[in-house]
C-alpha cells in the first residue's frame, strides 16, 4: 500500500514526486511537503508504515504526533464549548496547533473565536476605563464589531456600544446648539456695545 501509490507528476518546476500516502500533494525537491497532512492522512500514513515489511524507526514518533494532535482536538472542542472564553486561551491553543505541522480545521475556528474574544475584551476594557468614553473610542469599536460574525455576546456588546453612541451624539448635538447660541448671543452683545 505505501509503495503502491503512483507518484504524481510535478505541477511546477522544483517539485518532485507526490507524497507517498497522498500523491495529490506535491513535494519539494528536498522532500518537504508544500501542504500539511490532514489528521486522516496522518492516520493512513501510520497504517501504511505499520504495513511495511521493514522496520521504520520513526513510526513511534509519528504515532506520538497523532496522539498529541488528537489530544489537541479534544482540548479545542472543550474550549469552543466553554464560550465565551478569554482570548489568551484561544491564542495559546492556536500557537500549539500550528506547531504540529498538521492541517487542523480547528485552528480556523479558534482564530475566529479569538478575534471575537479580543474584541469583547477591548469593549470591556473601554467601558470599564475610569475616564470618560469618547465617540473616538466608540466608533472604531462598533466598526470592528460589525465585521465579526454574530453571536449573543457580540450582539449584546454592539447594542450597548450603539446605545452609548446614540446618547453621546445627542449630547454632542445639544452642546453644539448651546455653543452656537452662545456665540450668537456674544456677537449680538458686541454689536450693542459698539452701537
pLDDT at 188: 59
Model pTM above 0.85: no
Rounded CA gap, 70 and 68, in Å? 5
Among candidate residues 62, 11, 58, the one with its CA nearest the CA of residue 35: 11
Per-residue pLDDT reduced to its tens digit, 20-62: 555 555 555 565 545 688 999 999 999 998 898 988 888 899 9
Evaluate if residue 84 carries a pLDDT over 70: no
Helical axes 105-128 vs 87-98, angle rounded to 10°: 150
pLDDT at 16: 39
Cell of 166: 446614540
Q: In percent, how much of the chain has pLDDT > 90?
A: 26
Per-residue pLDDT reduced to its tens digit, 124-152: 888 887 567 778 888 899 999 989 888 88
Rounded CA gap, 170 and 19, in Å? 64
- Which residues are paired to 103 by β-bridges? 38
Q: What average pLDDT does the segment 108-113 reach?
A: 90
Backbone angles phi, psi at 70, to 5 degrees: -65, -40
Give every CB contact of residue 58 below 8 A, 6+ residues apart in sequence: none
pLDDT at 83: 67
> By mean pLDDT, which of 3-12, 56-65, 185-194 is the weakest?
3-12
Higher pLDDT, 56 or 10: 56
Evaluate if residue 176 carries a pLDDT over 50: yes
pLDDT at 96: 93
The pairing of strands 102-103 and 37-38 is parallel
> Domain residues of the chain, as ranges?
37-113, 129-188
Amino acid at each position: 500500500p505505501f509503495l503502491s501509490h503512483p507518484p504524481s507528476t510535478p505541477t511546477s518546476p522544483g517539485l518532485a514526486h507526490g507524497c507517498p500516502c497522498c500523491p495529490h500533494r506535491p513535494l519539494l525537491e528536498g522532500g518537504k511537503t508544500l501542504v500539511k497532512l490532514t489528521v486522516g492522512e496522518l492516520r493512513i500514513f501510520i497504517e501504511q508504515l505499520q504495513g511495511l515489511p521493514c522496520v521504520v524507526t520513526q513510526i513511534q514518533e509519528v504515532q506520538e504526533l497523532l496522539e498529541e494532535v488528537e489530544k489537541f482536538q479534544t482540548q479545542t472542542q472543550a474550549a469552543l464549548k466553554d464560550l465565551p472564553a478569554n482570548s489568551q486561551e484561544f491564542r495559546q491553543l492556536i500557537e500549539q496547533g500550528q506547531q504540529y505541522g498538521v492541517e487542523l480545521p480547528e485552528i480556523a475556528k479558534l482564530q475566529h473565536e479569538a478575534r471575537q474574544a479580543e474584541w469583547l475584551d477591548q469593549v470591556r476594557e473601554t467601558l470599564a476605563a475610569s475616564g470618560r468614553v469618547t465617540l473616538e473610542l466608540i466608533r472604531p469599536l462598533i466598526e470592528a464589531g460589525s465585521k465579526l460574525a454574530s453571536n449573543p455576546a457580540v450582539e449584546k456588546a454592539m447594542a450597548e456600544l450603539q446605545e452609548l453612541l446614540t446618547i453621546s451624539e445627542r449630547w454632542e448635538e445639544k452642546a453644539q446648539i448651546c455653543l452656537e447660541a452662545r456665540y450668537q448671543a456674544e456677537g449680538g452683545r458686541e454689536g450693542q456695545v459698539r452701537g
